[in-house]
Amino acid sequence: MILWNRPLVLGVGFVAVAGTLGMDGGGWRDWAKAESAEDDVIPGEFIVHFRPAHVPTLRAEAGRFVNAEPSLAARLQAAGVTSPRPLLRIAPRRDNGPGRRLASTFVVRSDRSLPELRAQLEDQGAVESIEPLGHMRALAEPNDTWYHFQWDMAAADIATIRETHDGSGAVVAVIDSGVSPGGADGFLHLLQGYDFIGDDEDASDDDAMISGLSHGSHVAGTIAQVTDNVEGVVGLAPEAGILPVRVLHYDDASGAVWGDTDDIANGILWAVDHGAQIINMSLGSPGRSDAVADACAYAYENDVMVVASSGNDGNPAGVLYPAALPTVFAVGAHGSTNEVTPYSNGGPQVDLVAPGGEGSEDRDGDGHDDGIVQESVTENGWRYVFSEGTSMAAPHVAGAAALLLQNGWVRHQAIEEALIQSADDLYAPGHDDASGFGKLNILAALAVPVAEGLLQQEGPVTISQVSTDYSTDGRVWVSWITDIAATTEATGSDVNEYDELATHLHRVLVKGSPGFGTTIEVSSTSKDGTTASEDVELTFPLPSDNPFAGCADGAAGALFAPAAAAMAWRRRSARR
């Protein structure tokens, strides 16, 4: 059961507890709590990834597929596939592997279960993979009048940062519930966004008066709230542009704020194609979506940094998606005393922790719980709201990245490396699953010498961040990253190889027999002919060991948990 608490809301000239449902912290945190991948599956709806080379003319018209080759059309009909529609509502502007895969992806309906659909369709050449359509949930010394309650900004030494940096020129997309204009504090540069819920250009949070809080407005405030205006609170990079993309909405039946994975994938592509340099996603699900993974890969290939929250379940080995993807910078939460908060999900994918708040503590002695306070819309209008959660932690990193962009950094991998190098260890030196490489230190990151970036175009190719990600039915995704654009190659039994353009992110699908193991070799070759390779050992879990067994319709992707799943992850290097 998802528990509800109440956020603390500051009115003008008074402090009150609002009678509102909460999101992400002090009460708002628990909104984000997804109890299992099954909770986030939409029954009877699926995402089908066709291989681009096999279906160059396939289209969806009038609720059916047209121009399908006869054998494929017969299989689709036999599988009860109806009501197809392209996943992408806007064609990607860049021609690369992830964009091509998404352009060949459709959302369909069927009364069959996921295992039945896979058995009927995946073994023939045109269909690459099938996943259920699912939800992702919201994870919830300037002269500004409420600044003295912002322990997070004081700890970052925002006064010193403001002497030289304000985020000028950076564009940060907030993919969330929408960002509303009109607050007394507001934003200097709230850009024209897009609403994938209403399919229009008004990306305001239309549900804030119902849900009790504009989650997206609160998140955006940490990044770029107006500062030094004798009003309200401060943001880290107030001169940065906020590009709002609405993909989450309030669901009356569940009482949660969530969004469908196809909308989220569309939102990521739209943000990349409309000038975002950084994307913040304070949302997540235990279930892995191939569509969202491809969209994040599209961002990665186009040099856009994606920041996401690790999750609020208190699971030490349960980083949610999309934060768990190798193309995403995963952020956990710490409180005012620099301890990782009890709710912050951990795991080998965590890169850093940043201020997320603790809604039940007042350790800094300011008379209020140590949540993160920003301006937001509530059911009672605009207020200054204390909230807690990894949703609040992620935008601190997105704001820091905006400041580094202003400092002259140009490559997202270089920005990520600077943030990691400069982080303050909270526990043992180096990486740990709770705090990643440590606590965000913005001033130290700004002091790292500016680099041209790690994504060079020529030179010997190297492989890093090799990961294995187990799905249902004995299927394993093997992913790796190369420092320069290179091909995707793999050898071994049951390897389903992708035919991609030369990219930095590589992924192959391996199918095996439960209970057995195998070794495959992954390799990549750059345009100058240099090749790097690495052996990857795989152990296919038995059904009883499979952490995804029992999900509705065999829901694809899920929690990183049992050792029996033989999960492997090699983190990025930290040159400290």
Rounded-to-integer distance, Cα 278 and Cα 405, Å:
9
Distance CA 107, CA 256 (A): 23
How far from chain centre, in Å, is Cα 499?
A: 25
Asked if 314 and 346 count as a contact pair (C-beta separation under 8 A), the reply is: no
DSSP assignment of 207-227, as one string?
THHHHSS-HHHHHHHHHHB--
Catalytic residue among 24, 30, 176, 553: 176
> Can you tell me whether residue 301 is helix, strand or coil?
helix
What token pair was written down for 199? Answer: 């399919």
Q: Which amino acid is at 479?
A: S
391 in active site: yes
- Interior/surface letters 373-406, b for 16+ CB within 10 angstroms, e for the rest: bbbbbbbeebbbbbbbbbbbbbbbbbbbbbbbbb
Inter-residue contact 99 to 92 (CB < 8 Å): yes
For 401-413, the DSSP string reads: HHHHHHTT---HH
How would you class 447 by CB atoms within 10 Å of its CB: exposed for 0-12, middle for 13-18, buried for 19 or more? exposed
E strand map for 418-570: 463-470, 475-486, 489-491, 495-496, 503-511, 517-525, 531-539, 568-569
Q: Does the active-site annotation cover 129?
A: no
- Point out the catalytic residue in the list 391, 422, 435, 471: 391
Q: Is 47 within 8 Å of 85 (Cβ atoms)?
A: no
Burial of 457 per CB tally in 10 Å (0-12, 13-18, 19+): exposed
Residue 552: strand, helix, or coil: helix
Annotated active-site residue in 215, 249, 334, 504:
215
Q: Tally the C-alpha atoms within 13 A of residue 30's C-alpha that lie toward its C-beta.
A: 13
Amino acid present at 469 = D
CA 227 to chain centre: 27
| 142: preceding bond cis by omega (within 30 degrees) | no
Q: CA-CA distance, 192 to 357, in Å (whole number)?
A: 30
Contact between 317 and 344 (Cβ < 8 Å)? no
Q: For residue 184, which phi and psi values (nearest 5 degrees)?
A: -65, -30
Residues carrying an active site annotation: 176, 215, 391
